[in-house]
Chains A and B, each alone.
Chain A
Amino acid sequence: MSSLLYDIPGPKARARNRVLTAVGALVVAGLVALAVWRLVVNDQLDGDRWAVLFDPRTEVPQALLRALGRTLQVAVIGMVLATVLGALLAIGRLSDRRWISRPVTVVVEFFRAVPLLLLILFSFIFIPAIGTPVSPFAALLLGLVLYNMSVLAEIFRSGILSVARGQWEAGYALGLRKSQLMTTVLLPQAVRRMLPVLIAQLVVLLKDTSLGYIVTYSELLRTARSLVEFFGNTYSFQFYVAAAVIYILVNLLISSIARLVERRTRKDRKARAVGPVGLPDEITPVVVPGGGPDRSR
């Protein structure tokens, strides 16, 4: 794609590119060398320090796996609830009755504009204050659902609105009621288009579960922290790296699934009537040859 910006390099350009590449490589090598040097000086690359991550006798791999399970658990439950509520809110916001659409709009806009951490912390502090005990899991889940349902509601709404205008008009011309139009014409087409976006939102949600660390839900990050407290500071760097690597691997996996589904829906004839729905920023948009991603519409 970016090759449009420059010609096929001639001898001079090739020489310049080589210089550029060499300079770039030097800078990168310098940064890597600095990192390695700091690691070596502090004995962080010591084999024993890393072995603890893979030795089942230390219970570390098991603990990390269980933590990943808890992370995925809250992410999946949160995603399901947020999807259902988000769909309801989207339909509510598109309602012709103002006494429905106005309050729904306020709810959606409020929860989208407020930091997720504030929602989680508030649930964690406020619910016990009115006399109901709340587990860290519940507080985290509540915050995640409130925030993501609003984000998903907007995704759904833009998906429904992006179904070609002619489809709405054809439906009304046939005498369909709005609820019939929604369920038989608009939603089936919109959902096809939105599937990749939904999967991509799962990456965002999964990353946000790490906020559970702050309300002491023992997900990956909190577990890494507890392991450090248990094994002492010697291993802290290794445990944090392990947690980060697990997050990255799982998210890369989900992102690639999102991209795969996106490519398949683009080929799907039934989804053609729907305009493109932008993937959230967490996912690299697939570059269409000659056109570029159409997020700027």
Chain B
Amino acid sequence: MSVLIDNLPLLLRGFWMTLVLSVLAWIGAMVLGTVLAGLRVSPSAPLRGLGYTYVELVRNTPLTVVFFFMAFGLPQLDLALPSFFWSGLLALVLYTAAFVCEAIRSGINAVPPGQAEAARALGMPFGQVLGQVVLPQAIRTVIPPLGNVWIALVKNSSIASAFAVTELTAVLSRLSNATAGALVWIGLGVALGYLVITLPSGWAVSRFERRLAVLR
């Protein structure tokens, strides 16, 4: 137990880093993912193809490989990022965006087709159909899956520890020489750091899902 108190500053710094990394990656992934979802439902076939290709490629690539390319592949092309933090952040954004895109797209598909048809019958162009009729309804069905993407993102950010970002999981690697008894406490402390984020998020998602089920 005392090992936790001794290393509390280290753990807190790690927790803060995990939180910063996750939130920044989340914002980036939301922006890129929304753009990709727009591409995937757009009237132009090549743009649809572009979105589809991106999503399929990224979703079938392990995140560790994406991290790898950002950390070790880009420098080979003289495109090095300022620090490992930025390469880790970029890897998380590029990877998570594909899942955000799919969550939003399936939300768009879940809106009854009659809604879009009615909007079109009123003469609305594509932008208005999407922006004023379909998306506002899609948002509701999209929030639970997006919440799950956020939870996965927080957990995925742990991979950054292997690429020289000193976030929460890195604390465990750094203290790996401790005794078995101390390791249990450190492991639990690190796990607790993640649980503090993931469990409340999970509860929020399932609460929202239940409320939605009543509404529909």
Contacts of A6 in B (CB 8 A): 43, 120, 125-126, 129
- B77 near A42 (CB under 8 angstroms)? yes
- A240 near B68 (CB under 8 angstroms)? yes
Q: Does A210 contact B (CB under 8 A)?
A: yes
How many angstroms between the C-alpha atoms of A4 and B47 in the bound complex?
A: 17
Main SS class of interface, A: helix
Contacts of A28 in B (CB 8 A): 46, 50
Interface size on A, residues (CB 8 A): 66
Partner of B159, one of A20, A44, A211, A240: A211
- B56 near A252 (CB under 8 angstroms)? yes
Contacts of B63 in A (CB 8 A): 207, 210
Q: Does B60 contact A (CB under 8 A)?
A: yes
Q: How far is the CB of B212 from chain A (nearest CB, A)?
A: 8
Contact with B along A228-256 (1 / 0, CB 8 A): 00000100110010011001100110010
Q: Does A173 contact B (CB under 8 A)?
A: no
How many angstroms between the C-alpha atoms of A294 and B109 in the bound complex?
A: 9
- B77 near A21 (CB under 8 angstroms)? no
Partner of A5, one of B76, B129, B190: B129
- A2 near B41 (CB under 8 angstroms)? yes
How many angstroms between the C-alpha atoms of A5 and B172 in the bound complex?
A: 50
- A248 near B61 (CB under 8 angstroms)? yes
Residue among A6, A233, A287, A295 with most chain B CB within 10 A: A6
- Contact (A21, B45) CB under 8 Å given A42-B77, A129-B179: yes
Contacts of A116 in B (CB 8 A): 155, 158
B interface residues with partner A (beta carbon < 8 Å):
39-48, 50, 55-57, 59-65, 68-69, 72-73, 76-79, 99, 102-103, 106-111, 113, 116-117, 120, 125-126, 129-130, 134, 141, 144-145, 148-149, 151-152, 154-159, 161-162, 169, 172-173, 176, 178-180, 183-184, 187, 190-191, 194-195, 198-199, 202, 212-213
A interface residues with partner B (beta carbon < 8 Å):
1-2, 4-7, 9, 13, 17, 20-21, 24-25, 28, 35, 38-39, 41-42, 44, 109-110, 113-118, 121-122, 125-126, 129-130, 203, 207-211, 213-214, 221, 233, 236-237, 240, 243-244, 247-248, 251-252, 255, 281-282, 284-285, 287, 290, 292-297
